[in-house]
A and B are shown apart, each in its own frame.
Chain A
């Protein structure tokens, strides 16, 4: 899955964690005690904040810089607001009419999350079945590939015809875009268990179910989270594509309507909300991942 760009940060994180362990060991040695009391190491807390700052500072600076340059360009060149509104006017549009935007954002959010969850559940079920049967995998995976290579924007109008203009077709589209990456990664995760560990389970006479629950499932988690990080933002895209094909509400609907009316402030305010939604959802997945995969040495490096 194409999240290679994140590899660098994760490697930095991993290094950071290593440093803490070293700190702990050094400090423990210094106090010549085997037991380690965290409160006796005042620098640890600061180190953590310092690390958090040093890892979040560069992107923050880049973001602020980006918007400042944008703002300056619009003002200096005197760009028409119909072409490109200044960030300040987009923000004032957004915060001045929050009660107008939030219900739309909510619609898109639940379409996306609903689709993400539906697609994930279906993909996991399919993954379990296909990981256990090469025959079923060989027969059904090509169908999934076919669904994956067909442009979703081409399928969307069809779903509108079948299921109307409500939330259902959007949820379905979000589910379709989520399904394939989750399916492929779950199959890989369930299958790629360490041969030694598998044999060890065999030597204990573990049942297929036990091997699945105790070995395959935990083994697949890094793969599943890697796919989930990609899919959760894909599902927002799916919801938006769905809304374009026919809807009465949602941020995608808003983008389409306001761009038809050349209301650029509204277009950009909606885009901003969509971007925020993507960032928040991806980070939410990452947060859960970090908790669940504390054992995994490079939580995010497997892309």
Chain B
């Protein structure tokens, strides 16, 4: 059943009087409970698309429906758990207090998903931060902070998680480790995830569906279904099918690079 429906969406930006087409005629249908990655070169509008879905930006034309609601309505009823590029932890709150922030704001709207909330401490333990519940963000490394952001999104009870390049500032090893943790949490909770990245291996490893985009104007060139079995965390390092997908998506991206 499709939970996110995007129809002939377009968006233009004006910079110094020059118009750039950030998104042209985007059509997308995403099923509930699937992990979807948006991948493409910088400037292809993948983050913009994510932000329009999340109600953080508005489109110029076209329609977005989140289970029948507009993005803003969905945002108001706390359908989204947002994981931005930087961790977005409040420095004056401890880790556990940061985890509880989503419940503290917009109380009326979130009532519907209140019962879906997960135990914060357990999720922190799942990302290996069980001992840091009462620490302040500054005591954690960048990777650890980002893991808190992911745990927070899963804890909030929101059915759709929007992740905007959450690992882009992390080193390769940390990145791999965290994406494994993300996968194992996801395999347990099965939320709808829209994940923006420019890392091909990461996209293939995590996703059920990879949406390949190209830039100027930003558009969808191909949607690749990833038929790799779960649990992925147990997948062999050099699984041939995994590599086939990586090659296929790399080829698709290279085709349009210039």
A residues near B (Cβ < 8 Å) are: 34, 194, 196-197, 199-207, 210, 214-215, 218, 221, 293, 295-297
Complex partner residue of A197 from B56, B90, B105, CB under 8 angstroms: B90
Can you give 13 A-B contacts (C-beta < 8 A)? A34-B131, A196-B86, A200-B88, A201-B105, A203-B75, A204-B102, A204-B105, A205-B78, A210-B105, A221-B92, A295-B92, A296-B92, A297-B138
A-B pairs with CB below 8 Å: how many?
Answer: 66
In the bound complex, what is the Cα–Cα distance between A170 and B80 (angstroms)? 54
- Residues of chain A contacted by B84 (CB below 8 angstroms): 196, 199-200, 203
B residues near A (Cβ < 8 Å) are: 54-56, 75-76, 78, 80, 82, 84-93, 101-102, 104-106, 109, 131, 136, 138, 162
Instruction: Tell me, rounded to whole Å, the shortest Cβ–Cβ distance linking B160 to chain A.
Output: 11
- Residues of chain A contacted by B101 (CB below 8 angstroms): 204, 214
Between B54, B78, B91, the greatest number of chain A beta carbons within 10 A of the residue's beta carbon is seen for B91
* Chain B at the A interface: SS class: loop
In the bound complex, what is the Cα–Cα distance between A117 and B174 (angstroms)? 49
In the bound complex, what is the Cα–Cα distance between A210 and B103 (angstroms)? 12
Complex partner residue of A205 from B85, B88, B104, B106, CB under 8 angstroms: B106
- Residues of chain B contacted by A295 (CB below 8 angstroms): 91-93, 136, 138
* Given A194-B88, A296-B91, 12 other A-B residues pairs in contact with their CB atoms under 8 A: A196-B84, A200-B84, A203-B55, A203-B56, A204-B105, A205-B55, A206-B105, A207-B106, A210-B105, A214-B104, A214-B105, A215-B90
Q: Which residue of B has the minimal Cβ distance to A295? A: B92
- Residues of chain A contacted by B87 (CB below 8 angstroms): 196
- Residues of chain B contacted by A202 (CB below 8 angstroms): 56
- Residues of chain B contacted by A204 (CB below 8 angstroms): 75, 78, 82, 101-102, 105-106
- Residues of chain A contacted by B78 (CB below 8 angstroms): 204-205
Instruction: Tell me, rounded to whole Å, the shortest Cβ–Cβ distance linking B94 to chain A.
Output: 8
Whether the pair B109, A218 counts as a contact (CB closer than 8 A) is no
Instruction: Tell me, rounded to whole Å, the shortest Cβ–Cβ distance linking A246 to chain B.
Output: 45
Instruction: Tell me, rounded to whole Å, the shortest Cβ–Cβ distance linking A169 to chain B.
Output: 39
In the bound complex, what is the Cα–Cα distance between A215 and B91 (angstroms)? 10
Whether the pair B106, A203 counts as a contact (CB closer than 8 A) is no
